[in-house]
Structure 1
């Protein structure tokens, strides 16, 4: 039965803090979920994944006296962009790219609700050195399936503006005094990278994930043979080399502490070969050149992302990434 509090919630847009208010969210789910999904009365616990001024990702665990359980995720953004993400999720769910089950998008809350498979991400498997080869190959297969899909016109997907993704918060300008040497290097790399990207021969845009890396690959807890892809907030149209370069660079960066360099190169090649085989394409010099450019772009994005933190571990990561960029530029010189 609806309470006065529940009616108030539905009349007004949620503030970010509301997503973390157990009483309010329990009342909300009581209104939205029917007895066929999970019978009430319900209990609720929540776990925060992300919380920013205008964005949130939350995991809700709902249960009842009959020991039924339902785990629901919510991803919300104040700009209403999760509506498009929800439509993309439905498209990928229908094409077996992900088992994340879309539930609904709430236009008042500007949040999408969905059921996600439980499991560990590929980065956690890298840390534990658990069967990495097989999962990296499955990631290559999954990406080839994404790139093989025909984008629906009704999704009205935009081209991925990767240039503006490098430093959307003007970190290089704001933290110049904190990181004088590093920001100077990053600005020079950014200018050189854009000049190289502008030389790329335009080609038909492909449906791309937009943020394809090990932490967005989930190995299912209940069925270890299945991997899931998550986080479609950056999905759009782009050169497929963008996703390939992103994954290969992040695989390298996330594995360095745990895996010898020679093994990392082997894993990158396994990923790439699986992708090529399933798309039935060859590894041309042009494709490898573009992948290298997008590896540079991903490394530069990461270096800039770490700059607002002044902690020593972040400084080490920034310098490592800038050194990696130098090495990658030498490969295409």
Structure 2
């Protein structure tokens, strides 16, 4: 399929006539009382058509007629990418849903069906809000239950056994993030001194990853764990649900710890004091390990800080393309400080 044709087919996720027909053909397999769609509302959460790709995430709010003649309401979401990556994401989601994440405290979104021609899949919308949406300028905001749920959801994922019938990709910094691959040549071209700095940082990150990989026991990792992928009904919720499974792979479990900590820091600094951010980061780590901070084995800290450095660098790349050079330099400062912690091996996850 040519790129332009792929883009057009992904864009059909936001076409009401196409989607209504698609739902009428498929929903009876998943809702036995389904007869036909009576009303359909579309909401495009993401709608990007670029020169080489198309990415759509579209929500569907629908009323359907059931076999008893009543009207029922459901909410669904479709996600598609012209690069074909959603097919593997759908398979990963199905695996997790069928291996213990379909009920109880720790959940994933319910997968429905894959649309081969549209490079997309449909799943049930999650009831609740992203953890990040609860952030506000309140030093007394109680994030404890949410942090504990987020940490222990991750622990369950990391302990999940895999089988030989499903071939999982391998997580590696060297294989993740085309934005970083483009970032280095682009920044070298626009700002040589900053680019040289990034080049040195990347070399250090890859060196440490290679060093740690020598004795690593891999497990399933989320790959991009952060507060916008965590769904809760409230900060007092007793259940947690995760969305977006594109990056799930076999890798170092500390990548998820480092990713969440750095993004909690990065997203939270506009709302919370430094003291509160530091506290919440340490609480997340102790919740994950089930140990006091000072009792957590020292060997984990360099790996956590390596991935904090990596995710901070990815954030710097994003800001570079937004032409926020001052913010890029500040983040690069933090990347170098995290790498210094990797080198020193200190029992420390906070920079300030």
TM-score bin, normalised by smaller chain: 0.7 to 0.9
Residue in structure 1 matched with residue 55 of structure 2 by the alignment: 55
Matches within 5 A, 1:110-259: 110-127=119-136, 129=138, 130-168=141-179, 169-200=181-212, 201-220=214-233, 224-259=237-272
Residue in structure 1 matched with residue 26 of structure 2 by the alignment: 32
Aligned: 1:69 with 2:81: no
Q: 1:203, CA displacement in angstroms?
A: 1.7
Aligned: 1:277 with 2:290: yes
Q: 1:99, CA displacement in angstroms?
A: 4.1
Q: 1:246, CA displacement in angstroms?
A: 0.7
- Answer whether contact 2:112 2:124 (CA < 8 A) is retained: yes
Structure 1 pair 33/249, CA: closer, same or farther in 2 (3 Å)?
A: same
Q: 1:154, CA displacement in angstroms?
A: 1.8
Which runs of 5 or more residues in structure 2 are unaligned?
345-352
Aligned: 1:328 with 2:338: yes
Deviates more, 1:132-141 or 1:168-177: 168-177
Q: Distance in 2 between the 1:247 and 1:190 partners? A: 20
Residue in structure 2 matched with residue 104 of structure 1 by the alignment: 113
Query: Aligned-residue CA RMSD in angstroms?
Result: 2.4
Q: 1:227, CA displacement in angstroms?
A: 1.3
Q: 1:166, CA displacement in angstroms?
A: 4.4
Matches within 5 A, 1:252-331: 252-277=265-290, 283-310=296-323, 314-331=324-341
Q: 1:237, CA displacement in angstroms?
A: 0.3
Q: Deviations over 1:19-68 (max 9, x none)?
A: 11112211221222237354434221112222332332211111247552
Deviates more, 1:102-111 or 1:233-242: 102-111
Structure 1 pair 317/247, CA: closer, same or farther in 2 (3 Å)?
A: same
Structure 1 pair 131/92, CA: closer, same or farther in 2 (3 Å)?
A: farther
Q: 1:255, CA displacement in angstroms?
A: 0.8
- Answer whether contact 2:157 2:220 (CA < 8 A) is retained: yes
Which runs of 5 or more residues in structure 1 are unaligned?
1-11
Q: Distance in 1 between the 2:235 and 2:177 partners? A: 37
Q: 1:306, CA displacement in angstroms?
A: 2.5
- Answer whether contact 2:12 2:19 (CA < 8 A) is retained: yes
- Between the two proteins, the alignment pairs up a number of residues equal to 316
Aligned: 1:86 with 2:90: yes
Q: What secondary structure sits across from 1:249 in the alignment?
A: helix
Q: 1:223, CA displacement in angstroms?
A: 8.6
Q: 1:143, CA displacement in angstroms?
A: 0.5
